[in-house]
């Protein structure tokens, strides 16, 4: 049973990482676009490594803060906002101009780390939520999640963009997963747990129901927005 819980949590961690790493991959590609050859490889690898190191620090801080009453509720609400943003954020036509291209490897590394630090809070909160087993953060799962970030952001920019463009349902699946994790965080909060304990046996059903309802509303809202545009 514990093995099954671990593997399920691992699938959640990898899925969250896959869905949320696209923007970070694009940041790296844009920052290193002016470099060539070994300089580009050096900027990409060290920039990604520095960004992951910062995520590890963020993860440690957030894991500690989530032990404070009601902060898991706040984290869950933030995940709902992230899910909505994931589905409804439109790509900006001039987005490329907002990411400066580095003129040297070290300049590109600095740009990558700073930009990724600004963008990574949502990724880290989602990863911390996904990596929880029995209400406690599994640092093994967090480590796997952070380690897989490097190949995803280094090699995955084109692949992730292509996949999400070709299969938009993946975006909705990722948003639904974030909603499910948000429900888990509500149940794990020290204060809410007391009131939600009678529903613990059907927590997974509530999580699935919330994910389905959110996905339906998000899809209908997007269709309505597109039809009135």
pLDDT for 93: 44
User: Mean per-residue pLDDT for 72-97?
Assistant: 70
Residue 127 tokens, joined? 């990863």
Condensed to tens digits (0 to 9), the pLDDT of residues 11-47 reads: 888 888 777 766 666 666 666 666 777 777 777 777 7
Cβ–Cβ under 8 Å, residues 129 and 80: no
- Over pLDDT 90: what percentage of the chain? 7
pLDDT for 75: 79
> Is 210 exposed, middle or buried, given 0-12, 13-18 or 19+ CB atoms closer than 10 A?
middle
Condensed to tens digits (0 to 9), the pLDDT of residues 129-169 reads: 888 877 677 888 888 887 777 677 666 655 665 666 677 78
Assessment of whether the complete model's pTM goes beyond 0.85: no
């Amino acid at each position: 049973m514990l093995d099954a819980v671990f593997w399920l949590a691992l699938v959640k961690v990898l899925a969250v990482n896959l869905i949320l790493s696209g923007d970070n991959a694009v940041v790296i590609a844009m920052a290193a676009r002016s470099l060539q050859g070994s300089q580009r490889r050096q900027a990409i690898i060290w920039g990604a490594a520095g960004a992951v190191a910062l995520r590890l620090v963020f993860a440690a801080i957030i894991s500690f803060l989530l032990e404070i009453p009601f902060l898991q509720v706040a984290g869950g609400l933030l995940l709902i906002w992230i899910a909505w943003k994931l589905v409804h954020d439109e790509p900006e036509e001039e987005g490329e101009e907002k990411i400066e291209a580095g003129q040297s490897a070290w300049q590109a590394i600095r740009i990558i780390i700073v930009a990724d630090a600004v963008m990574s809070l949502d990724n880290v909160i989602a990863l911390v939520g996904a990596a929880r087993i029995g209400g406690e953060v599994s640092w093994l799962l967090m480590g796997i999640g952070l380690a897989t970030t490097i190949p995803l952001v280094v090699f995955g920019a084109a692949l992730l963009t292509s996949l999400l463009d070709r299969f938009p349902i993946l975006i909705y699946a990722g948003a639904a997963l974030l909603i499910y994790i948000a429900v888990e965080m509500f149940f794990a909060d020290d204060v809410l747990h007391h009131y939600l304990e009678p529903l613990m046996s059907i927590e997974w059903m509530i999580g699935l129901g919330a994910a389905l309802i959110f996905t339906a509303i998000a899809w209908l809202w997007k269709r309505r927005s597109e039809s009135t545009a």
